Each structure stands twice: as C-alpha cells, then as structure tokens.
Amino acid sequence: MNEHWLVKIWKRLVGAELRKIEAKSYNKKDERVFQDKVKKQGTKRLDEAGNEVYATALHPKVQKRVIKLIAEAHKAGLNVDLFEGYRSFERQNYLYNVKKTTKAKGGRSWHNYGLAVDVVFKDSRGRWSWANKHDWKALGLIGKKLGFTWGGDWGWDMAHFEYHKGIKSTRDALKMFNEDGKGAVWKAVK
C-alpha cells in the first residue's frame, strides 16, 4: 500500500535533518544525542488515516504552511519536496564552517528556531535538484501567497522559505532563545 503524500512529508520533517548527518563530521554518540534532541522537540499527531506520525521541531504555523506549499506546488505540476526544516546550532555551524553551503552561523538562521524550511525540486529519477531549469519563481509565488518570505527574492536561496511574523531578526530570536528558550521564540510568532 502506498503511503499518503502527507505522511511522507511528515516523515521527511524529521528525516531530512538526520539524513544530512555525515559520518565524518559526527560520531555515533553525537548522532544519538542529536536524534534524542529532535525527538524531544518534536510533536506527535495522527495523519488522515489515523497513523501516528512524527513531526520535527517546526513551529505549527510553519508546519501548516509547508504542507500547503508542497500540496499547491504539486497541483501546479511542480515536483518538489521538503529537503530540510529544523537545524540544530551545531549542524548550522557545520554547514557554515565546513560545507560552506550557508551564509548564517548557528543561532543566525531561522532554521535554528523551526521557522524555516528548504523545499527542493526532484528530477525525473527522484534525485534532489537545485538546477536553474526548474520553475523556482512559481514555487516562490506559491510560498509567498501562504505568508512565507522566499529566499529567491534575495537572488540566491531559491529553496528557502521562512515564517517569523512578529520577530524582526534572528538576533532578536537568539536573544529570546538565550533568555527563555525556544518557547519564547515560538510565542513571539504571530
């Protein structure tokens, strides 16, 4: 029996972060600790078929929007899926310092607070594709209609969507996080 596409998205909300862990940068103990953190920060819910699915530490408003974004993109004929959502500060620093795939250090990305996602195209073989041939503008327009800020408007981060209405900057989010934890950041989101 094929899984409903919503179930697949919810599984990816957790799995995307864990898939990206590279053996050379994390030892097994670090990976277990990270998985435990994700589980503690996540939430459980039932899908439409009554199956228990596990969602990562994305703000509920972001969760709802990313599901709608992917559904609307599919309706428009865009073959996209969730690539990554929540990122730990440690992973953010790894991407910044080692991989050089982000411009933000840990604490300075909306991903670190569960307020950003990367939605990426898949090619005809089901592989992730960031190629310019894809209709990134159409994807961006769908996201913006749902209230996301789209990274493509900056001219370089086409897959990135963030929602943090009520919080001006990641500096403000980091200050709230350091003072009162993630809950304070999430309460500030409108």
- 17 by Cβ neighbours in 10 Å (0-12 / 13-18 / 19+) ranks as buried
- Contact between 138 and 78 under an 8 Å Cβ cutoff? The reply is yes
**Ordered per-residue pLDDT tens for the chain, 190 residues:** 455 565 566 556 544 444 443 333 434 454 455 445 545 544 443 333 333 333 457 899 998 999 899 999 999 999 998 888 888 888 899 889 988 889 999 999 999 999 999 999 999 998 989 999 999 999 999 999 999 999 999 988 999 999 999 999 999 999 999 999 888 999 999 9
| pTM, entire model | 0.73
pLDDT recorded at residue 144: 98
User: Domain 57-188 has what CATH class?
Assistant: alpha beta
Which letter does DSSP use for residue 17 in this model?
H
Q: Are 57 and 114 in contact (CB under 8 A)?
A: yes
Give me the residue label for tokens 């327009």: 141
| Residue 142: both structure tokens together | 């769908």
Question: What distance lies between CA 35 and its chain's CA centroid?
Answer: 16
Query: What pLDDT, in 10s, does the model give residues 45-98?
Result: 333 333 333 345 789 999 899 989 999 999 999 999 888 888 888 889 988 998
